[in-house]
Amino acid sequence: MPKFTTPIAPFPASRPRRQRRTAFTRDLVREHHLSASDLIWPVFVHEGAQRIEAVPSMPGVSRLSLDALLPLARECAALGIPAIALFPVIDPSLKTPDGAEALNPDGLVPRIVQALKQQVPGLGVLTDVALDPYTSHGQDGVLDANGRILNDETVAILKQQALVQAAAGVDIVAPSDMMDGRVGAIRQALEAAGLIDTQIMAYSAKYASAFYGPFRDAAESPPQFGDRRTYQMDYANADEALREVALDIDEGADIVMVKPAFGYQDLIWRVKEKFRYPVACYNVSGEYAMVKAAAQNGWLDEKQVVLEMLTGFRRSGADIILTYWAQQAARWLNG
């Protein structure tokens, strides 16, 4: 038998744990980083003075009047959070079947946008383009006599709503309704009005999800009948999301979104890999409420779980994360 003359390499030849042994090497080789600049803070706004109303299903989240919002907006800017997203809570007396209050240039959202841009000019402002906060029936569009949501008639109103918001000075309009063709209609209207710098963040792959429940409580806009599955996507579908994203990019979206985030990280990944386009995700109210409830019961470490979850969204391909933890996460990250 011949003798082996080549020395056998010791086992294991490679030791990945070497790079995990100390904090500084873990930081050096970390592949994905989370920072305050990746976050947008969604906030619920309503009329009044010094009105701060807690949302029971979302511990730590409140509906805010403008004077209560402004110091928090300044804090966001100081923490390095680049933008906030406004979601209005409209007085029921202003709600109509066609959501006409959405087109009021002196309405709640335009006035808050103007105040924010004047008093916190370095903070970006995003507004929701959708009719459900304004309709008496709580659906995202206008209805025919049989209660069917009309697509093109709704788009005509959404286009005007986006123009009102853009004229007020908002940086980003975000159509969240999932009507066909609304991104193209809004982009054409903005261009025609000379509002060429207004960005569009399209809710491109928005699923009909049970995880939105606490949001609807907070915004006081639950559907009064039926559900939203005729326009929001089936959560069993993935290829359809890629088609929706492709349409919105072709129609002029600047940023595309996947919503919800936690159970849809495969979609965030696929969208980013296919399109190489700015991708946002929305860490929605139900995801927030579950972690908050578990943390309050001592079952989870809130800080560690939140930072892990948000970093996971970044790892999946999200460039931007809308999250109710934005301020708290920024404090943790900056601390």
Compute the distance between CA of residue 175 and CA of residue 158 in angstroms, rounded to an integer: 8
Instruction: Determine the pLDDT at residue 52.
Output: 96
Alpha carbon separation from 267 to 34, 270, 286 (Å, rounded)? 20, 5, 18
What pLDDT score does 3 carry? 61
What is the pLDDT of the chain when averaged over all its residues? 94
- The residue whose two tokens read 């991104």 is 183
Active site (catalytic) residues: 206, 259
How many Å apart are CA 20 and CA 16, to the nearest integer? 7
Written as one letter, the residue type at 162 is A
What is the SS3 string spanning 226-248?
CCCCCCCECCCCCHHHHHHHHHH
CB within 8 Å of 221: residues ≥ 6 apart: 90, 132, 133, 138
Residues of the chain with pLDDT under 50: none
Nearest-CA neighbor of 73 among 96, 28, 42, 103?
42
| pLDDT confidence of residue 215 | 87
Distance from C-alpha of 57 to C-alpha of 53, rounded to nearest angstrom:
12
Query: Does CATH place domain 35-334 in 3.20.190.10?
Result: no
Query: pLDDT value at position 8?
Result: 60
The ranges assigned to domains in the chain are 35-334
Q: For position 1, what pLDDT does the model report?
A: 54
Cα Rg of the chain, angstroms: 22
What pLDDT score was predicted for residue 13? 79
Q: What is the pLDDT of residue 204?
A: 98
